[in-house]
Structure formats: C-alpha cells, structure tokens
C-alpha cells in the first residue's frame, strides 16, 4: 500500500508544480466548484497510477489542481463509493495520497437525504459528527505506522476550528445553513422508512452513501476535516415521492451557486 501511494504521489509531482495544503472532494452534482478554480491542471483518474475510476453519474472522475482566491487547492471532481464494488482501501486511497502529497486540510462534500424534519431540499448542512453504518471500517487490516496509529482517536473528526471558520463565512455571505450528524451507509439502495426512523432515533440529521470512510482515514492520517452536506431530498418516510439519482443531481446543481460561494470564500479564510 505504501509503495503504491508513493508511486501515485511521484506521478502527480511529475505532472504539477502546485503544492496545495487543501483538498476538496465534490459530491454528486457539486462539480460546479471547479469553475472557481483558476490556472487549472486537470488529470483524469484513469491516467493516475493505482487510482480507481468513478462510475457514477455526477462524478466526473478528475483531479483538478489550481487556485481558488489565490489559494492553491487540489479538487477531486468525483469520488469512489463502496457500493461500486471497490473495497474500503480503494474507496479511501486518495486520502493516503493526499497525506503524502502534503495535504493538511480536507473539505468533503456530499449530496444527502434529510433525516431532520426541519430540513428541506436545498439545505446546506455542516457536518459536526458522523455515524458509521457501513458495517465495516476502512482501517481494518494490518496497520502501517508510516501512515498513522493503530487505534486513532475519533473525538473530533470534524475540526471545530474549521467549523467556526465556515460559520463565520456563511454569516458574512448571508448563506443559511444547518448543522448536524451525517450517517453513512453502504447503499446503493435508498433506505426504507423503518431504517430512516431508526437512524433518526440514533441522532442522524442526514443520510448518505459516502464521506464516512474518507473522513475516518483522513482523521487517522492527521488531516483536518470540514464536511458539508447538500440535502437534495428528504429521506424515506419523510419524503412524499420515490427517490431518484437524477433528482439528487438536479437539486445539488440548483444549490451549487450557494455551495460554491461558501466553499470558495472559506478556502480564502483557511
């Protein structure tokens, strides 16, 4: 694993002169942030040694290097999901590369279902904690101390300092937001009404199929994390119509302008 990661890092070093400290992962329908990136260098995942490839609509499958508000960034336009058939090491492979490439802060975004009845489609939610409902953990297996400790602490997975910065930026831009707990499950099916009821009882505010594995590994690696969910639909049992991925992408696209402005200004503050 370590040798594969270093091979990927060496390849990226040969392709770009950028040395960003901030990485941004864009969820379904949120790829519009790439339009805010200047001096772009785009590398398709398929060209990167040892990198998986995105197979889901709304995930372009590109690493984008450049600047946002004169701050160097690395943007993942599209992520990898457990339900695509990748194992957890493959799903979280980019985070290992981030660490060895010099990334110190990761902004992770996703499209999610609202499990809080006060939310509505289009709500932006800061993630202040998560529930791992995948039934597995990306750190299972032998541990390489060159990456991180065998038993990483998870008491502040999502940086309180970064959350405060994001809140201040939202206030300055008059962007409304909520705050809550993200529950990640394997998918690819949407949850049943009974499952959502259980998740709400557990304290979930939003439900999705990503983010948790990436955040566990980033935390393990010592990368600070800011997480933002775009509530694209209300979860089963709250929603009044069946779910579709097309609807998820459509609502995410509609919310994109507020999301992009918020992230771009937050990057500047970081």
| CATH code at position 127 | 3.40.50.1580
Domain hosting 141: range is 2-269
Is 210 flagged in the annotation as binding? Answer: yes
> In three state form, how does the secondary structure of the chain look?
CHHHHHHHHHHHHHHCCCCCCEEEEECCCCHHHHHHCEEEEEEEHHHCCCCCCCCCCCCCCEEEEEEECCEEEEEEECCCCHHHCCCHHHHCHHHHHHHHHCCCEEEEEEEEEECCCCCCCCCEEEEEEEEEECCCCCCCCCCCCCCCCCCCCCCCCCCHHHHHHHHHHHHHHCCCCEEEEEEEECCCCCCCHHHHHHHHHHCCCEEECCCHHHHHHHHHHCCEEEEEEEEEEECCCCCCCCCCHHHHHHHHHHHHHHHHHHHHHHHHHC
Q: How do the pLDDT tens digits run along the chain, 270 residues long?
A: 999 999 999 999 999 999 999 999 998 777 788 999 999 999 999 999 999 887 665 556 899 999 999 999 999 998 999 999 999 999 999 999 999 999 999 999 998 999 999 998 889 999 999 999 999 999 999 999 999 999 999 999 999 999 999 999 999 999 999 999 999 999 999 899 999 999 999 999 999 999 999 999 999 999 999 999 999 887 777 866 777 777 667 766 777 888 999 999 999 998
Is 28 flagged in the annotation as binding? Answer: yes
The set of catalytic residues is 28, 59, 81, 83-84, 111, 209-210, 233, 245
Number of independent structural domains in the chain? 1
Is 191 flagged in the annotation as binding? Answer: yes
């Amino acid at each position: 694993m370590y040798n594969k990661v270093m091979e990927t890092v060496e390849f990226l070093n040969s392709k770009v002169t950028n040395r960003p400290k901030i990485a941004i992962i864009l969820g379904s329908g949120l790829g519009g942030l790439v339009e805010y990136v200047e001096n772009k260098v785009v590398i398709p995942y398929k060209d990167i040694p040892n990198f998986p490839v995105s197979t889901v609509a709304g995930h372009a499958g590109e690493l984008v290097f450049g600047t946002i508000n004169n701050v160097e960034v690395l943007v993942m336009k599209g992520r990898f999901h457990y339900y695509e058939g990748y194992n957890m090491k493959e799903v979280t492979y980019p985070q290992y590369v981030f660490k060895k490439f010099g990334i110190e802060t990761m902004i992770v975004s996703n499209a999610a279902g609202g499990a809080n009845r006060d939310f509505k489609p289009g709500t932006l939610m800061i993630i202040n904690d998560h529930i791992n409902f995948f039934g597995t953990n990306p750190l299972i297996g032998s541990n390489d101390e060159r990456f991180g400790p065998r038993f990483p602490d998870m008491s502040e997975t999502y940086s309180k300092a970064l959350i405060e910065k994001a809140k201040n930026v939202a206030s300055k831009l008059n962007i409304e937001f909520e705050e809550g707990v993200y529950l990640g499950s394997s998918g690819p099916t949407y949850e049943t009404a009974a499952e959502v009821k259980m998740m709400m009882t557990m304290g979930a505010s939003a439900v999705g199929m990503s983010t948790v594995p990436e955040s566990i590994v980033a935390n393990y690696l010592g990368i600070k994390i800011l997480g933002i969910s775009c509530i694209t639909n209300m979860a089963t049992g709250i929603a009044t119509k069946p779910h579709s991925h097309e609807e998820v992408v459509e609502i995410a696209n509609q919310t994109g302008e507020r999301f992009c402005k918020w992230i771009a200004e937050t990057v500047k503050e970081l």
